[in-house]
Amino acid sequence: MDKNLTEEDRQIIRVANSKERYARQQDAKDYLKFSIYHQQERQNKNRLHSLFDGKVFRTDDPYIYAVYPPNCMGCNCVITTISERKFKNMNGVVLDVKEYLLSLLKSGDITIEEIKEMEKFDPRKY
Ligand SMILES: [Zn+2]
């Protein structure tokens, strides 16, 4: 991104890109059924976003919006989608978003306030 942009400008661009990506992925959810979260923050890795890095969810998971990046100011994480065939080759585990968030709450890795904060960045509502 342009070095002259302010952090606020960058966030506006992130959010616009995210909204577009989310809409495109939802349009193709019947084909690209699996969504993988990739954490991008290089320095000062966000502790919360590390909990999602590499995790696989269903693209049509009704709660995917809750973890869809950006998940805070400055978040550069992305979700990419893949086909069922590619996913099978990965031998991965699919997580249910709601169940995963509940397990993180139970283990104390995340607080309800942190989940609410993430949900403020809802790609359906930008
Ligand atoms: Zn992030």
Q: Identify residues whose C-beta is under 5 A from ligand 1, the ion.
A: 46, 49, 75, 77
DSSP character string of the chain: --TTS-HHHHHHHHHHHHHHHHHHHHHTTTTS-EEEEE----SS--HHHHTTTT-EEETT-TTHHHHPSP-STT---EEEEE-HHHHHHHT--EEPHHHHHHHHHHHTSS-HHHHHHHHTS-TTT-
State pLDDT tens for residues 92-111: 899 999 999 999 999 999 99
Rounded distance from Cα 113 to ligand 1 centre (Å): 17
> Can you give the pLDDT at residue 119?
87
State pLDDT tens for residues 4-56: 899 899 999 999 999 999 999 999 999 999 999 999 877 777 889 999 999 99
Rounded distance from Cα 69 to ligand 1 centre (Å): 6
Rounded distance from Cα 31 to ligand 1 centre (Å): 26
Rounded distance from Cα 76 to ligand 1 centre (Å): 5
